[in-house]
Structure formats: C-alpha cells, structure tokens
Amino acid sequence: MNKEYLIYKLSDEVKNSCKIDKEAFTKFNVKRGLRNDDGSGVLVGLTNIGNVVGYERDANGKLTPTEGKLYYRGYELDDLVSPLLKEKRFGFEEVAFLLLSGQLPDKEELEAFKELLNDNMPLDHRTITHIIELEGSNIMNILARCVLEMYTFDPNPDDISRDNLMRQSIELIAKFPTIIAYAYNIYRHSVQGRSLHIRHPRENLSIAENFLYMMKHENYSELDARMLDLLLIIQAEHGGGNNSTFTVRVTSSTRTDTYSSIAAGIGSLKGPLHGGANIKVINMFHHLKEQIRDWKNVKELDVYLTRMLNKEAYDKTGLIYGIGHAVYTLSDPRAVELKRLAGELAKEKGREDEYEFLKLIEQEGIKCLQEHRGGSKPACANLDFYSGFIYEMIGLPQEIYTPIFAMARIVGWTAHRIEELNFEGRRIIRPAYKNILGELEYTPLDER
C-alpha cells in the first residue's frame, strides 16, 4: 500500500473514531473542559497562592457578575501595583519573592533576593551554543528545550526537597529573560539577516531593565522599563486553574523533575488559545486601523465589528479578540491596570490617537458582543487587549510576546509546583474519562 495513501486513510478514519456527540456529555454529567454548565471552572484543588475573582455565587448556586479582582498571596493586585507607580520603582522581583515565599520582603531581604537573581542570570556557555544551533526556531520551543537542557547541568535535578525546589525556581526565574533575549537576537540574525548582538546581563539592573538592555542595548526609556516591569507583575500569576499552571501542577503531582514540569507548562502556554492571544489582538487592531476610515465614528466601527461577529469580515472566526474571559465578567483587573499604563506610554510615544481608538474598540466590542449574544452574558476586555499594544510601543517584536508571558508566569509556575509538592495529603492528579464505545468482538487478521 502507498505510504502517503495509508497516512490519508488513517487520518480519514479519525473522523469516526473521534466522534462523540455533545449530548453524551450531558447524559453522563461530564464537564467538558472542566467547566460547569454556568461557565465556572470545576473545583479540582486548593491553593494559598493566587485568587481570581470574577463573580459571586449565592446560596442557591447562582452566579452574580462582579468587578474582577486578582489576589497574590492575599494581596489585591492594585495594592501591589499602585505603590510601584507612585514611587516609580521596579517591583517584579518583590512580587516574585512574595509568590515564592508567601511573605513580602523587607528592604534587606529584597536587596539580597535581587542580587541572587542577578547572579543567576548569565547562561552556561553550553546553553548559549545550544541556542545558536537552534537558530530560526520558534522561541517558545527554544525556551522549552533550554529548560530541559538545564536538567543535565543541575547537580541534583531530581531532588524535590524544599531547598532544592527553591534553588531551581530562582535559577529559572533569573535565566528566562536571558534565554529569550539571546534566542530572539539569534533569530533576528539568522532569519532577518540583521547584525548579531549578544549582550550579557548587567549588575544592578532590574529584570525588566536587563531584558530590554539585552534586547535593545540602551535604546529604551525609563518608562519603557517600568511598563515592562508592571506587565511582568500583572502576568506573573493567575491561580491554579489556568491551563499552563494546571499543567505544571498535574506533572508535578507525579514527582517528575522541575525542568520536565516547567517545559510542559511552556508547551501549554504556547497554544494560541492561551498565551498567544495578544498577537491576535494587535493584528486585529492593525486591521481595524486600515478598515475604519474615521477612528471616532462609532457607527462605522459598530457595523464592521458586527460583520466580524457574523463571520463576514476580518478572519471570519466570529471573534473580537481580547474581549471576554473564562472567569472575569464585568472587568478584568489586569486589563484595567494595563489600560492605565497604555495611556501613559502612548503620551510618551505620541500615539494617543491609536490609544483612543483602541479604547473605542474595547467599548464598542463589548457592546456589539453582548448584542450578538442577546445580552444574556456580560463581557469585558481581558489581559491581552492592551498588552500587545504596550509591547509594540516599547518596541518589542511579536515573536517574543508569548515568551515574555512565560518570563512572567515562570514565577507562578514555580510557586504552584512548590505548593503541589509540599502540602499534606498530596496525591497524583488523576481524573477519569468515561468510555462510551462499548465492547467489540475481535476479528482475526485473515478475516478482516
């Protein structure tokens, strides 16, 4: 049999072998995507790390939409971010300390922690060689492969004691920015034919500053660095139920090594339904800038957004990217923060008109989506709606939008891995799938 035909035949037969009627999920009370019928997530675990609040549930179990709130170790996100904005200081390292330990650091602890991270930012020369050998590859894949390679350099890679988990976590948090910056600069050289610059991290710079230095030398402003720092904080943690963090917890529950578990989380985040959504938003934004002649004309915008929802315009998916969230209803607190930051940065960059247009897309996108749904379910802009615009104003390329998400979320991943391996009564995470095919009688090979 022709091999290409065999592949086609196997693929064609998948249409039947994978077919499961939606009614079967209702019949057997199976929660597709671990989601309840009301859209809330199925409760599968407990945590002390992050808390995502988008609704309230009354005594009868009915959900009531509320303004979104996000808590890191019990502290509301805005309470962590506002002092940093007021004092104009960098805070990602402080938030990393909080998420890993459960406590806010004092000044001495924070300075020591910053020095520890800075000491661990340089890469082993073998890792740099490995990145060069992977030139032109997807940067998320390079990141995952470099993480797996760190296993071979670790003197105690399989040790899951608290001390060793913390050491590994700090090294990963410190090295992610360097890996991503190096990988992009090599990609830029090999794919785009640009000059190759490998800049080593510098002492006495924050992680945000060091990343921009490694990416752009000194071609960035203080506001650029502070905006990136706040983006990292806002994306550092989002509870145990988001897909990539849950992936880390599932794999950690088997007691596999840290590097295998984090590589799995990277693979999850790479998916366009998870970490790549901000690219979808910024591309949609550029499209709308071209299609809408008058950026202040609400009626013209509404007509086009409605066409998008009806799958008649843009990519014909029926989506307005960046609008809607699995948990948040009336507002996403991360989007609220980013909207404020985007406005500040737009003034510095002379892009106020684009910012005002983006805000109008948010306003009308929510309205049009609710009308399209019949007004039954509230919607709000999510994290991705403004993050891509901020990255673009800072001058960062789309190839690293999702890797930057990983650079932030590695803090949450490692915190959840430590918790998964250290709470009492832990068990391997092992849900069930119900088989609905039934029994078949075996047919001998000669009779098929």
Q: What is the DSSP letter of 229?
A: H
Q: What are phi and psi of 287, to 5 degrees?
A: -65, -45
3-state secondary structure of 202: coil
Residue 127's H or E segment, with its range, is: helix 125-133
97 and 154 in contact (C-beta within 8 Å)?
no
* Sheet bearing 50-57, strands edge to edge: 50-57, 63-72, 75-76
Which of 229, 238, 384, 416 is catalytic? The answer is 384
Which two structure tokens, joined as six digits, stand for 10?
A: 């196997």
Do you know the residue count of the chain?
Answer: 448
Cα separation, 231 vs 108, whole angstroms: 25
302: annotated active-site residue: no
Q: Please enumerate in sequence order all residues whose Cβ is within 8 A of that of 59, keeping only pairs 6 or more positions apart, or say none.
A: none
Q: Please enumerate in sequence order all residues whose Cβ is within 8 A of that of 297, keeping only pairs 6 or more positions apart, or say none.
A: none
Which of 325, 332, 416, 446 is catalytic? The answer is 325
Count of other CB atoms within 10 angstroms of residue 294? 10
Cα separation, 336 vs 355, whole angstroms: 14
Cα separation, 253 vs 247, whole angstroms: 10
80 and 134 in contact (C-beta within 8 Å)?
no
Rg, Å, the chain Cα set: 24
224: annotated active-site residue: no
- Please list the active-site residues: 325, 384
